[in-house]
Amino acid sequence: MASVAWSEMDLTRDDPREQKRMAVLRTGARLFNEHGFDRTSLDDIASELNVSKRTLYYYVKNKDDILFECSRLALEFMEETLASSQNNDLPPLERIAMIMRSYLDLLSNEFGACLALSNDNVLSEESRKTLRKGRKKLDQAIRDLVDQGVKDGSIAPCEPKLAAAAIFGAFNWVPYWQTRGNRETYSEIANSFLNIFLDGLRARK
């Protein structure tokens, strides 16, 4: 997705400053995903937006701040999905499917791909703790649902911890596959991954 120069943005709606901050974050995420965090500079991001590097500091502290905010926003989106999944009476496997569809939708945009493809080891300890807390909450939700499904017989016997690790380990590669020039569309790749795991988890009669 191409970035939009600030001169081309519609700043008449919402908060113009917040729109510009989000433009910085989206452009940073896209460049991190395309070139890697280490090979992307603030100069690159400023150039994409057709502004000076100095201007960026009105909206972000540094490059690390961009990575943290992109990842935090992605996890915030998933927290809303988790809350929704916990407030319904669907069977465990259907709730897992609901969460993972949302996760795959998330991975199709700049922030979600940034969460999956970037290494948070470059961030401060405080930032890492915040992001890892969000990841752990997501991981635990899948573990709990797998455990419930195994107990009620709707999910084949398995170790919940390993099932969650396998799901996220595989799904986090979906943005990578999409950037490798595969013929399949993102939707086709995502649906294939999802169906493989749902079929694998489903109890056999």
Write out the two tokens for 148. 């419930």
Domains along the chain with CATH numbers: 12-60 (1.10.10.60), 62-204 (1.10.357.10)
Task: Strands of 57-150 (E only): list them.
Answer: none
Specify whether the CB–CB gap between 97 and 194 falls below 8 A: yes
Per-residue tens of pLDDT for the chain, all 205 residues: 445 454 444 444 568 889 999 999 999 999 999 999 999 999 999 999 999 999 999 999 999 999 999 999 999 999 988 988 887 889 999 999 999 999 999 999 999 999 998 999 999 999 999 999 999 999 999 999 999 999 999 999 999 999 999 999 999 988 877 656 666 788 888 888 899 999 989 988 7
Q: Which residues contact 138 (CB under 8 A, 6 or more apart)?
A: 75, 78, 82, 99, 103, 168
Residue the block writes with tokens 């500079």: 41
Give the separation between CA 111 and CA 117, rounded to whole angstroms.
10
CB atoms within 10 A of CB 180: 8
CA distances from 115 to 72, 103, 108, 176 (A): 8, 11, 11, 12
Residue 195 has a CB neighbour count (10 Å cut-off) of 11
pLDDT on residue 181: 62
Q: Enumerate the β-bridge partners of residue 202.
A: 155
Give which of 110, 140, 98, 101 is closest to 23, Cα–Cα.
Answer: 110
Contact 155/61 with Cβ under 8 angstroms? no
